[in-house]
Amino acid sequence: MDSFVLWGVAALMAVVTAWLLRKGSAVKTLTDAGLVLFLLAMMASMFLSAVIYLYFPSLVTIFELVALNMISMSLGLIPILTALFRGDKPLDETRKGSHFSSRSIVFAAVIALALLSEVFMGWTFGIVSGVASTTSQSVFSSLVESTSSYWFVFTMAAEMAVTLYLVGGRFPRSFRWLVALQTAIMVLSPTAFANSSWAYWALWGNSGAMIVAIILIFEYLYRNRTVSTGALSYLLRLMGAYSLMMAGLFVWLLYGDALLFVLSVVAEMVVYFTIVLDEKRLVSPPLQGWLSMPKWAFGLLLSLFLAEFFMGGALDALANGTSYFTGLPFASLSGSVLTILGAAFYDFIVFVSSITASFLFLAMMGLEMGALVVFKIRYARETETKIRLVLLLVAYAIYSLFLPVFVLGAVLPSIPWIGWSMGIGTAGALAPAVILALVGTYLISGGLSFLFGSRQLCSLFCTAALMYQGTAIDAMSSFNRTSGLGRKYLTSRIPSAYKVVVTLVWGSLLVGAVLSYLTSVGVVDVTVFGADTGYFLYAFYFSFLWYIVWIMTPFVGTYGCATTGVCGWGAFNQLISRVGLFRIKVRDSDTCSSCKTKDCAKVCPVGLTDMPGAFIEKGEFRSFKCIGVGDCVSACPYNNVFFFDVRNWIRMKLNMPLPPLAEPLGNGSEAPIDFRAARNDTS
């Protein structure tokens, strides 16, 4: 019966708070603001008094709390009395000369009071229901225990749901779905119940909802290249809150401390309330193209990666137990200063790679980026491009998930396979038993690159292909032209920085492979804090450095791995491709001469801006950097560009004609057809 009453009060408070938030979003005068703030302050003061009484139950405390509530209500009446005696004023005119508008100050006060009310209510009900204690726990521990329980998170979720019902019609369509997902994520808080089954299924559901939210965010950005600054701010703050949330769940699973998770819930609610109170910011000017904001895009990718990183870590801990992390082969932090620094760096790489190389992390990234690839398949014009993208999805599932985890990782952990991760010896210790397999891998992959180009790896088998070719990430190819560092890698020219990086990468791979081999046969005993040199290089290059380059896309452009030389395996295949049969050709050079847009170069995710000149002069384009993504083929408004590889070479030798030239899509004076452009989704 007591629980029924508590739930009834909680539900009532959720509805009242949601109603006050709706009223708060419409305040125009000092009187309106005063009424909303007065009611919220009264609620917060009431539940704070309840908490104090539960800790110090006495008649004296009651009288003191009555006095406290009278004082707080008197303070809450100040705006109303001011408006009564000095005249009501529009909010925007009550703080002239200030850096903050009066509306923003009122909104901040509304958010603060609403959150305080819910925190104190959750704390009160947590103590009354026995979730928290006033005797066996410290005040701080009791507060954290209560606010991580269902009394707090479910009430907050109820507020979100009711508010969405009341004001959801004001949101653009995509944001209504996003807010609904926020509500679902709040409901699926694993800390809500002290029950392992709930924690298990709630974390899976929470992660699934977050994956859908991330996909929705990226597809929204792809469809809307120009967005209001308010929407950009909301999306970045939301992803930041989710990063904090997943970090909080990771810490909670490992150490049982829910403080960071509670802070993330509060942060998420601040983000939510900000939009509820001022939803016009989602569509109102000023508008800005997010592709011209590399710092913002970097923040989005960074927060996405951190959210996925800690989500993967939390699921790894849930699926495999906390021993998954406590049992990692960390190096001892003892000895000289240099030894301690080296061990700390090694431990950091071990920790990061234990998550980024795990099945669950790669599966989640595959789901998110794979969904964007599926969207791109819808926009692609050429059947060959559609087929390649489908094969890309299949290759990721087989090569990045199925083979390493279910076959090679369990049965043949030291045997390499097609697509040797980052270069010689980086997927396993280099022992005599795998020399032939290693050589065979390079011969087969090199042969495929000679016949079909390095696209067989860099645009198909490699994990990077999936991460870079989805719609919104693919749209970031504009950073190749606009970012300072990205412009240095434009055209087919091989910059000196590339030469230095690829030399260091291949030098380290060769040295690591030799040391791995000599250690395996007993000639030397060289390891990196006990780890095989090949394994360590794999962890460093593929499970750490590659993600750094991916996050830095707004500054280095897309496919930073290919353009900077950080991937030794890709550089090998690019070299073979350059001397092989693969190239990009045009059916009619005159068409390229009259083309005014040069869309083929604009969309190139590697930044090969010299492509049109080569088409005009030679009728074909060959480049060490070209990895055959195919955006240039799809973007050509005249259907003039096509791939030339062993298939066309055979046609040529047999005097078979190439496919006929399709009718032009324009005469050059019309706006070019952007195969990636999408309709605006702000309805």
How is 147-170 classified by DSSP, letter by letter? HTSHHHHHHHHHHHHHHHHHHGGG
Strand residues in 464-518 grouped as ranges (E): none
Give residues with Cβ within 8 angstroms of 658, minimum separation 6. Answer: 587, 642, 648, 651
Give residues with Cβ within 8 angstroms of 548, minimum separation 6. Answer: none
Scanning the structure block, which residue is given the tokens 């809150």? 241
Q: Which helix (H) or strand (E) holds 226?
A: strand 226-228
Looking at the chain, the whole-number percentage of residues with pLDDT higher than 70 is 89
Residues 133 and 60 in one domain: yes
- For residue 81, what pLDDT is reported? 66
Q: CA-to-CA distance for 123 and 140, rounded, in angstroms?
A: 11
Q: CA-to-CA distance for 312 and 367, rounded, in angstroms?
A: 13
Residues 240 and 131 in one domain: no
Q: Report pLDDT digits (tens) over 448-458.
A: 999 999 998 88
Q: How many CB atoms lie within 10 A of CB 383?
A: 8
Most confident of 50-54, 299-303, 439-443, 487-491: 299-303
Scanning the structure block, which residue is given the tokens 């083979």? 403
- Tell me how far CA of residue 650 lies from CA of 110, 621, 646, in angstroms: 72, 19, 6
- Least confident among 105-109, 298-302, 367-371, 572-576: 105-109
Residues 600 and 657 in one domain: yes
Q: CA-to-CA distance for 510 and 570, rounded, in angstroms?
A: 15
Structure tokens at 341: 């620094």
Q: Which helix (H) or strand (E) holds 227?
A: strand 226-228
pLDDT surpassing 90 at residue 317 = yes
The verdict on residue 441 lying in a domain is yes
The verdict on residue 187 lying in a domain is no
Q: Helix (H, G, I), strand (E, B), or coil: what is residue 559?
A: coil
Contact call for residues 247 and 264 (beta carbons, < 8 A): yes
Contact call for residues 174 and 162 (beta carbons, < 8 A): no
End of a domain among 283, 305, 327?
327
Q: Report pLDDT digits (tens) over 31-84.
A: 777 888 888 888 888 888 888 888 888 877 777 777 777 777 676 667 666 666
* Rounded (10°) CA dihedral 376, 548, 444, 456: 20
Residues 490 and 385 in one domain: yes
**At CA 356, angle to CA 350 and CA 358, rounded to 5?**
95
Residues 650 and 506 in one domain: yes
Contact call for residues 567 and 550 (beta carbons, < 8 A): no
The verdict on residue 365 lying in a domain is yes
* Straight-line distance from the first to the last Cα atom of the chain, in angstroms, rounded to the nearest whole number: 46
Q: CA-to-CA distance for 10 and 521, rounded, in angstroms?
A: 69
Q: What pTM was estimated for this model as a whole?
A: 0.88
Query: Taking all residues of the chain, what is their mean pLDDT, rounded to a whole number?
Result: 85
Average pLDDT over residues 107-127: 90
Q: Report pLDDT digits (tens) over 212-244.
A: 999 999 999 999 999 999 999 999 999 999 999
pLDDT surpassing 60 at residue 678 = no
pLDDT surpassing 50 at residue 671 = no
Instruction: Give helix then strand counts, H and E, for the chain.
Output: 32, 5
- Tell me how far CA of residue 629 lies from CA of 160, 394, 448, 474, 610, in angstroms: 43, 16, 16, 10, 16
The tally of domains found in the chain comes to 3
Q: Report pLDDT digits (tens) over 588-616.
A: 899 999 998 899 998 899 999 999 999 99
- Which residues are registered as beta bridge partners of 586? 641
The verdict on residue 292 lying in a domain is yes
Q: How many CB atoms lie within 10 A of CB 186?
A: 26
- For residue 99, what pLDDT is reported? 61
Give yes or no for a cis peptide into 660 (omega within 30° of 0). Answer: no
Residues 101 and 241 in one domain: no
Average pLDDT over residues 523-527: 92
The verdict on residue 371 lying in a domain is yes
Scanning the structure block, which residue is given the tokens 């913002």? 296
Structure tokens at 431: 């022992």
Residues 477 and 424 in one domain: yes
Q: Which helix (H) or strand (E) holds 362?
A: helix 359-379
Residues 318 and 412 in one domain: no
The verdict on residue 186 lying in a domain is no
Residues 432 and 559 in one domain: yes
Write down how long the chain is. Answer: 683
- For residue 42, what pLDDT is reported? 84
Q: CA-to-CA distance for 624 and 668, rounded, in angstroms?
A: 30
Structure tokens at 530: 């006990």
Spatial CA neighbour of 447 closest among 656, 645, 643: 645
Amino acid at residue number 40? L
- For residue 453, what pLDDT is reported? 93
Residues 28 and 159 in one domain: yes
Q: CA-to-CA distance for 373 and 392, rounded, in angstroms?
A: 9
DSSP state of 663: P
Report residue 169's pLDDT band, with 50, 70 and 90 as the boundaries: confident
**What is the 3-state secondary structure of 299-346?**
HHHHHHHHHHHHHHHHHHHHHHCCHHHHCCCCCCCCCCHHHHHHHHHH
Average pLDDT over residues 523-551: 90
- For residue 667, what pLDDT is reported? 37
- Tell me how far CA of residue 527 lies from CA of 8, 18, 34, 433, 537, in angstroms: 63, 60, 69, 19, 11
The verdict on residue 233 lying in a domain is yes
Domain that holds residue 89: 1-170
End of a domain among 327, 345, 373?
327
DSSP state of 29: B
Residues 240 and 366 in one domain: no
Residues 107 and 228 in one domain: no
Looking at the chain, the whole-number percentage of residues with pLDDT higher than 90 is 41
- For residue 353, what pLDDT is reported? 92
Q: Which helix (H) or strand (E) holds 644?
A: strand 641-644
Q: Report pLDDT digits (tens) over 332-355.
A: 999 899 999 999 999 999 999 999
pLDDT surpassing 50 at residue 439 = yes
Spatial CA neighbour of 305 closest among 467, 479, 483, 471: 467
Report residue 651's pLDDT band, with 50, 70 and 90 as the boundaries: confident
- For residue 668, what pLDDT is reported? 36
The verdict on residue 392 lying in a domain is yes
Q: Report pLDDT digits (tens) over 384-426.
A: 888 899 999 998 998 888 877 776 655 554 444 443 566 776 6
Structure tokens at 277: 């109170």
Q: Report pLDDT digits (tens) over 236-292.
A: 999 999 999 999 999 999 999 999 999 999 999 999 988 888 888 888 888 899 999
